[in-house]
């Protein structure tokens, strides 16, 4: 026969602070949960530390939202809560882009952007300006061809944002020129660049300038891969070596020309550039954001897995999506989440033992699942 629960509970030892028939571990669990609740309440009511001086200087909201729509849009601003792909500029034919698949739109505007960006730099460097008549600069620094791939093709990438783009090229030009000026103290250095023979100084300077340019980018947190070629050009391209320190303003001007064009062409359609100007978080906006600003920050964090990033096929790919592509199934990470089956607890088999009474044979069979 099964023992009666009421009878069993009478024989449980009682400890101070506990009622008879209650396990000693139960008040411990309740007291620990009480401590957790009190600690959470204490954290909520804990006064916030006073803001730092830098925090006091920051704006309470993104000031680009106060500018006229035409200006704020081309500075990369979108209203809080807006999600990619964004609405195109409300002027035909851009309003018809909704009828075009996003992938084709990215291809079209990436081609137009790269073509226009390179064309503008070449045109300005070739006209009657100081770059041609005084600096004798080349028609274009070749590393900007690689930059065009990032700035117009994968504009959501952190490597394509203005800080990485402009500072990366500037630091590489500065470092490459400074190191090369030391090697140029050898009067024969520029003659070695025709590659008519083996000269150790040329290939040592090339590796040293490029590697140190990368180090400079890493130190300031503004890595831009094409800028490595900017530092290398300063060491091994004879026309660039002849520019000397004039190479730096040439590179800086080329960066700003391409950036200005990118701000126009990349904001006409359903894309957005830049995603941020200095850092992924709001650099000039107070961290005490309101609810709509937090939504905007969430959108920035999720941008890498959004439709625009998939259409550009750039940046990191979600692990689940990558595995599905390897297996040839396609799909996305969200589909993986939606395909999960909810785990539900199976109902217990049996019946409750009647309180204060012994179980008969029929109740025992039902309790053991044999009925």
Who's near 176: CB < 8 A, 6+ residues apart? 209, 210, 212, 213, 230, 231, 232, 233, 234, 235, 247
Rounded to the nearest 10 degrees, how much is the dihedral formed by the CA atoms of 248, 250, 253, 258? -110
C-alpha closest to that of 371 among 348, 346, 345, 349: 349
- Residue with more model confidence, 279 or 209: 209
| Eight-class DSSP state of 285 | B
**pLDDT tens per residue across span 152-177:** 999 999 999 999 999 999 999 999 99
| pLDDT at position 172 | 98
Q: Which of 2-16, 162-176, 209-223 has the lowest mean pLDDT?
A: 2-16
Q: Output the six-digit token pair for 68.
A: 């006229």
Residue 100 reports pLDDT greater than 90: yes
Q: Check residues 180 and 346 and name the one with the higher pLDDT.
A: 180
pLDDT > 70? residue 9: no
Coil, helix or strand at residue 59: strand
Each residue's pLDDT tens digit, 190-204: 888 887 778 788 889
Nearest to 212 by CA among 193, 185, 232, 192: 232
The tens digit of pLDDT for each residue in 33-59 reads: 555 566 666 666 666 667 666 566 666
For residue range 243-269, list pLDDT tens digits in order.
999 999 999 999 999 999 999 999 999
Closest CA to 177 of 220, 219, 216, 133: 216
Contact 271, 152 (CB under 8 A): no
Residue pLDDT, tens place only, 295-354: 555 555 556 556 666 666 644 455 555 555 555 555 555 554 554 444 444 555 555 555
| pTM as predicted | 0.66
Q: What is the pLDDT of residue 318?
A: 54
């Amino acid at each position: 026969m099964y023992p009666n629960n009421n009878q069993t509970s009478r024989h449980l030892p009682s400890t101070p602070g506990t009622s008879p028939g209650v396990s000693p571990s139960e008040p411990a669990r309740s007291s620990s949960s009480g401590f957790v609740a009190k600690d959470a309440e204490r954290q909520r009511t804990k006064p916030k530390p006073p803001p730092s001086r830098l925090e006091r200087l920051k704006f309470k909201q993104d000031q680009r939202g106060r500018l006229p729509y035409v200006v704020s849009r081309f500075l990369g601003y979108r209203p809080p809560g807006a999600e990619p792909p964004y609405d195109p500029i409300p002027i035909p034919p851009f309003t018809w882009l909704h009828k075009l698949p996003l992938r084709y739109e990215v291809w079209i505007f990436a081609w137009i952007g790269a073509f226009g960006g390179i064309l503008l730099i070449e045109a300005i460097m070739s006209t009657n300006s100081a770059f041609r008549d005084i600096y004798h600069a080349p028609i274009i620094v070749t590393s900007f061809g690689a930059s065009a791939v990032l700035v117009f093709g994968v504009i959501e990438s952190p490597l394509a944002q203005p800080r990485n783009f402009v500072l990366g090229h500037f630091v590489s030009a500065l470092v490459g020129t400074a190191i090369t000026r030391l090697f140029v103290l050898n009067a024969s250095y520029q003659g070695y660049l025709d590659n008519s023979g083996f000269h150790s100084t040329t290939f040592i300077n090339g590796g040293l300038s490029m590697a140190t340019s990368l180090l400079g980018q890493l130190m300031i947190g503004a890595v831009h891969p094409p800028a490595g070629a900017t530092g290398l050009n300063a060491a091994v391209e004879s026309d660039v070596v002849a520019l000397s320190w004039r190479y730096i303003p040439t590179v800086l001007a080329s960066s700003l020309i391409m950036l200005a064009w990118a701000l126009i062409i990349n904001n006409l359609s359903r894309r957005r550039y830049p995603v941020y100007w200095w850092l992924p978080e709001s650099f000039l906006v107070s961290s005490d954001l309101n609810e709509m600003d937090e939504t905007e920050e969430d959108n920035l964090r999720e941008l890498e897995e959004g439709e625009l990033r998939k259409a550009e096929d750039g940046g990191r790919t979600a692990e689940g999506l990558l595995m599905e592509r390897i297996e040839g199934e396609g799909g996305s990470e969200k589909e993986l989440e939606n395909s999960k089956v909810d785990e539900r607890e199976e109902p217990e088999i049996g019946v409750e033992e009647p309180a204060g009474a012994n179980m008969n044979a029929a109740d025992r069979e039902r309790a053991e699942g044999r009925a």
